[in-house]
Amino acid sequence: MRISALRLQDFRNYTFQEVELGAGLHVFEGRNAQGKTALLEAVYLGATARSFRTSKEADLIRWGQEAGGLHLSMVRDSGRPRQLTMRWQAQPLQRRILLQDQPVRRLADFLSELPLALFTPDDLELVQGGPEMRRGYLDLLLCKLYPAYLEALGRYQKVLRQKGALLRAQSSRAELESWDQLLMQFGLNLMEFRARACQQLQPLLASLYAELSGETQELRIEYEPCVKGDFVEALRRAGSEEWRRRTCLVGPHRDEVQLCLGEALVRRFGSQGQRRTLALAMRLAQAEMLLEIGKERPVVLLDDCFSELDPLRQARLLRWLEGASQVLITTATPLELSPEHRLYRVDEGRVCPC
């Protein structure tokens, strides 16, 4: 998959902008706060229906405007063209998504349309942040690959919210048990998907980390489910404590994913350089798994990642990127580029090819 054109209208600081894109590597260079990251944000929205910068969709509309939007022209690896449009209205806040000029009713109908991997400076939290960051990493990957996972995750989260409300209301144990059955049903499904995903990620992640870092230590990704034995028994044992604390303590919403170099946890004992390299490797492994299982080459987005890498790691990353279908990079500092790479200058909401 690749994007052939991106069009923005009253999106962030862009009044109107159309950018034509090809295969290979594209670099968007410019000072901070000029609109570089907004370009990647628009593509990410087209792939996930959510922003990686804000939870408030009103922020996407250019200041002072009543509406804004984006349009992606895409080409599948088979050569088949695809068109995606997203529009936001400010008052009242509304969003509309069109795929092939048809309204998208369900996220499942849309989420697998554009395979994509994004790295931002905040992705360091994938390694050193709390377990919810690593669960989110797996969830997004699995939702892109498997509509069944997206459905199971949505149902699990709905049951979890309902059980939490009952606990806070101090409902009867009998009423809670009926929700525990659903929690277990959907939870076991999520756990099976996550365990299999970690097994599939292991060789990809280990190879990429070694390639980027030049280190020989073995890297492991280990799935640690909250429930290690019988789910029913785990719920029974936790019942009194859940009642006392009025919150759900058992289920995949409390899973952990450990990242180890040798025998050491990277989030505790890894250097800053190792953590950053591992976070980048996790995103590239995501791209490789999307290709391996989804059979469509993903678009790779890198937001200001080169400034935190030493020259050797920069060179290794560029070598990997040469094999990708399409790569969009933002940077505030000039990069050493080959003649075949496309360079754009971004200044005050305007994009100009160099």
Buried b (16+ CB within 10 A) or exposed e, 241-279: ebeeeeebbbbbbebebebbbeeeebbeebeeebbbbbb
Residue 273's pLDDT band, with cuts at 50, 70 and 90, is very high
161 and 288 share a domain? yes
182 shares a domain with 54: no
- The CATH number of whichever domain residue 141 belongs to comes to 1.20.1050.90
Cβ–Cβ under 8 Å, residues 99 and 109: yes
pLDDT at 53: 97
Query: Are residues 97 and 180 located together in one domain of the fold?
Result: no
Domain stop point among 265, 295, 325: 295
pLDDT digits (tens, 9 = 90+) for 43-77: 999 999 999 999 999 999 999 999 999 999 999 99
Which 3 state secondary structure label does DSSP give 120?
A: coil
Same-domain pairing of 324 and 221: no
Residues 109 and 230 in one domain: no
* 137 φ, ψ (degrees, to nearest 5): -60, -50
pLDDT per residue as tens digits for the range 9-53: 999 999 999 999 999 999 999 999 999 999 999 999 999 999 999
Average pLDDT across the chain, whole number: 95
Residues 129 and 103 in one domain: no
Predicted pLDDT at 186:
96
Domain of residue 198: give its range: 118-295
The answer on 48 and 148 residing in a single domain is no
Residue with more model confidence, 193 or 338: 193
Q: Could you tell me the CATH number of the domain that includes residue 309?
A: 3.40.50.300
Q: What percent of the chain has pLDDT above 70? A: 100
For the cut 90, the answer to whether the pLDDT of residue 102 exceeds it is yes
pTM above 0.85, yes or no: yes
The residues that bridge with 253 in the sheet, in sequence order, are: none
